[in-house]
Amino acid sequence: MNRIKTILSLFAVLVALNTYSQDYVHSLGPLYFRPPSGEVSLENLFRRQVSLFNNIEENQNSLYFIGGIKLNLNSYLLNPDIVTLNISTEYNPESRDEKYLLVPDRSEVRTLKKFDARASVFSGKPVTVTAYANLNQSYYNRELLTNIKSNNQRLGVTLSLNNRLLPLSVSYRNTFWDQTETLTGRVFKMGRDNLESRLIKSFSEYDRHELSFSHENYDYTYSDLHNTKNKINRFRANNSIYLNKDRRNSFNSMISYIQQSGYYHFKKFEANERLIYTLSDNLKVTGRYSYHIYDNSNYTLNQQRIAGELDHKLFKSLRTNIDIEYASSVHDLYNETNLRAGGQVAYTKIIGDHRLNISYHHYRHYMDMKSESTEIIINNEEHIISDAEILLLDKPYAVPASVTVRDASGTIIYQEDLDYQIHIVNNFIEIERIPGGLISDNQAILVDYTAIQPGSYGFNSVYNNLSVGVMFFNNLFEIYYKGFLQDYTKVRDTEYLVLNYYTRNVYGARINLDLLTAGIEYDLYKSTIIPYERIRYYLNLNKSFKGKYIVALNCNVRDYRMIDDDIDHKYYNISARLGYNIAPRTKVMTDIGYLRQHGKNINLDLLTGKAEFLTSIRQFYIKAGVQNYIRKYLENKHIFFGTYIELSRKF
């Protein structure tokens, strides 16, 4: 009852609030307050959910109220250039009786508590100090599949010296993150302290230099399975020297050093140098050199790479490129040498309203490996994990139990069978993300694993790529072809060497109208590792009629067939939106979405629907709607229906 009284009191304030004049400033001695701004709201919801989880069926009904207030305060001391203070806070008390935490709707992110404060001292002056504090608690969900409760705390302060002689900044940041997956019970806690100094200096218009140093303490607990504590020191120097005023000719240098101790020890030094020189308007030369040394408790890896590239442009129609690259790697267990050389030609021809695009890329790769056949440890192998592509680890004969998948920063360790799955495919390991887990689609990841080093071997490989596209009637209709071929000659192999001989042919056509784009693409990939056949259909429609009606439709269908295993993976993604603007401040929106994944260990059916009415009278806003949600993932099923109405007053 106390919560209900609090909510009704907030709504009474909503009705009674008067808007301050934007020019009004109130003073309290030397302290000045600008007019506050914010919002007071009241929301009523009815929700019904039927769940089948681990063969247990639940039926849930709920009726409850949510009230909320957002308040923004701005003040300064004597003068805005001396001390400014900005505070933003939000509080949403509620009264309800239910076991689940939130409606499964990707667009709904409800903050229960929030507090943001920022203070600046002598802003824009030679010495500036800025401090901030951000605290919030929120409920949200991940990909309509996993409900999340999250607490975040960020504190920090920055000291800046704003002058030409020594433009230096020193900052301290403290971060704490506590996240719970409400259905699985997985808990993630992370604490981080970071002290960083940064110096940016230019001596003339022809140069720019940046030096930075940071020290970080990192503590991460993953669902009570393990605890990661590291201390990390980073140093980085970025230098750019421009050889002419238009900066077309330049020398760029990046040098970095990282030392990490704790759960995982390593030292890494990198130097990347690049020279760009334009000989004429249509001829450019690029040279690159990189040096990399990585040292941890298991091995030391020393790598060097040198490359050169020549680009030529003839009129607007013909571009040519020649490049060569030499690389060597010295590992405790092997020595590897690579030499690649090739070129590319791109031609464009415009004939009336039509356009012809042709490009051809050819290179040869000479590789020599000297090693004993033994197990080696691979660290920080970089990949992009995507539902639309197949991800294979670089090395064959990897040990499945040794695979560790981390985020791009290398700190968060993901969990198998909750965040990702692994499959063995022709002596390679495939990694596939699980929808609703911590890994998002098209995310960068790092992978550590142990694999069998094949021993000494060598080969010459030949790579060819041909692309042809024809666009008719100012890009109204387009057909295209992409062909790829990779072959090997002079192979000196051992028992564990696996080479990817492949041909790939991609055929496609699409039509482009003012409001519609549609196409079809066929992809046949014949490979010695993982051959597949894929057909993709897509349709995108977006149209607005005189500002009254909005229509949007997006459809994407991908059908994969793994040729060797005769396994089909099908992906269907359809979304539609229809909007009608009844009046300048009144509109109705309807959204429908369907997502289906069908195949081995990826079965998912997800249907969502939402209709919403929005209107406003001056600063008074009304929003009402209905939602529907049907999800079947593997053996679990959820059916949800809900209605809501929200009243809010902004000031």
Query: Does pLDDT of 338 surpass 50?
Result: yes
Q: What is the DSSP letter of 408?
A: T
Quote the CA–CA distance of 538 and 35 in Å, as a whole number: 51
Quote the CA–CA distance of 16 and 39 in Å, as a whole number: 12
The pLDDT assigned to 346 comes to 97
Among the residue ranges 21-30, 76-85, 214-223, 278-287, the one predicted with the least confidence is 21-30
Q: Which residue has the higher pLDDT, 288 or 41?
A: 288
The pLDDT assigned to 517 comes to 95
Query: Does pLDDT of 507 surpass 90?
Result: yes
Confidence of residue 638 (pLDDT cuts 50, 70, 90): confident
Query: Does pLDDT of 24 surpass 80?
Result: no
Please provide the DSSP assignment of 562-590 as one string. ETTTTEEEEEEEEEEEEEEEEETTEEEEE
Residues 378-386, mean pLDDT to the nearest whole number: 91
Quote the CA–CA distance of 379 and 294 in Å, as a whole number: 10
CA distances from 520 to 132, 559, 643 (A): 51, 12, 39
- Is residue 427 classed as helix, strand or coil in its secondary structure? coil
Quote the CA–CA distance of 375 and 395 in Å, as a whole number: 11
The pLDDT assigned to 5 comes to 56
Q: What is the dihedral of CA 483, 484, 490, 496, to 10 degrees?
A: -140
Nearest to 530 by CA among 556, 560, 550: 560
**How many angstroms separate the first and last alpha carbons of the chain?**
28
- Is residue 122 classed as helix, strand or coil in its secondary structure? coil
All structural domains of the chain with their residue ranges? 374-453, 517-585+594-602
Residues near 106 by Cβ (< 8 Å), separated by ≥ 6? 141, 143, 144
- Is residue 4 classed as helix, strand or coil in its secondary structure? helix
Buried b (16+ CB within 10 A) or exposed e, 209-225: eebbbbebebbbbbbee
Q: 40 has which bridge partners?
A: 69, 649
User: What's the one-letter identity of residue 319?
Assistant: R
Please provide the DSSP assignment of 6-34 as one string. HHHHHHHHHHH--PPPTT--EEETTEEEP
Residues 430-453, mean pLDDT to the nearest whole number: 90
pTM: 0.82
The pLDDT assigned to 11 comes to 53
Query: Does pLDDT of 203 surpass 80?
Result: yes
Quote the CA–CA distance of 132 and 119 in Å, as a whole number: 6
Say if residues 237 and 257 touch (Cβ distance below 8 Å). no
Residues near 232 by Cβ (< 8 Å), separated by ≥ 6? 214, 215, 216, 218, 258, 259, 260
Structure tokens of 437? 């887990």
Quote the CA–CA distance of 99 and 97 in Å, as a whole number: 7
Query: Does pLDDT of 21 surpass 50?
Result: no
Structure tokens of 457? 């071997």
Q: Which residue has the higher pLDDT, 499 or 468?
A: 468
Q: 230 has which bridge partners?
A: 218, 262
Query: Does pLDDT of 13 surpass 90?
Result: no
Among the residue ranges 76-80, 195-199, 203-207, the one predicted with the least confidence is 76-80
Quote the CA–CA distance of 297 and 377 in Å, as a whole number: 11
Residues 263-274, mean pLDDT to the nearest whole number: 94
Percent of the chain with pLDDT over 90: 53
Say if residues 447 and 385 touch (Cβ distance below 8 Å). no
Residues 534-555, mean pLDDT to the nearest whole number: 91
Structure tokens of 219? 């503590």
Query: Does pLDDT of 613 surpass 80?
Result: yes
Quote the CA–CA distance of 395 and 381 in Å, as a whole number: 10
Quote the CA–CA distance of 144 and 141 in Å, as a whole number: 6
The pLDDT assigned to 23 comes to 57
Query: Does pLDDT of 307 surpass 80?
Result: yes
The pLDDT assigned to 108 comes to 52
**Cα dihedral 474, 475, 476, 478 sign:** positive
Quote the CA–CA distance of 506 and 524 in Å, as a whole number: 6
Residues near 152 by Cβ (< 8 Å), separated by ≥ 6? 134, 135, 136, 137, 138, 175, 176, 177, 178
Quote the CA–CA distance of 510 and 487 in Å, as a whole number: 31
Quote the CA–CA distance of 544 and 515 in Å, as a whole number: 9
CA distances from 68 to 40, 42, 93, 150, 345 (A): 6, 6, 6, 19, 62
Quote the CA–CA distance of 484 and 579 in Å, as a whole number: 44
Quote the CA–CA distance of 629 and 606 in Å, as a whole number: 8
Buried b (16+ CB within 10 A) or exposed e, 242-269: beeeeeebbbbbbbebbbbeebbebebb
Among the residue ranges 57-71, 161-175, 295-309, 310-324, the one predicted with the least confidence is 57-71
Q: In what order do the strands lie in the sheet with 374-385?
A: 374-385, 443-453, 404-407
Confidence of residue 197 (pLDDT cuts 50, 70, 90): very high
Query: Does pLDDT of 389 surpass 70?
Result: yes
Confidence of residue 9 (pLDDT cuts 50, 70, 90): low
Query: Does pLDDT of 566 surpass 50?
Result: yes
Nearest to 135 by CA among 120, 150, 121: 150
**Cα dihedral 150, 386, 429, 598 sign:** positive
Say if residues 470 and 355 touch (Cβ distance below 8 Å). yes
Query: Does pLDDT of 449 surpass 50?
Result: yes
Confidence of residue 565 (pLDDT cuts 50, 70, 90): confident
Percent of the chain with pLDDT over 70: 93
Residues 569-581, mean pLDDT to the nearest whole number: 92
Average pLDDT for the chain: 88
Query: Does pLDDT of 567 surpass 50?
Result: yes
Say if residues 609 and 600 touch (Cβ distance below 8 Å). no
The pLDDT assigned to 20 comes to 47
Structure tokens of 166? 């020594």
Quote the CA–CA distance of 524 and 551 in Å, as a whole number: 35
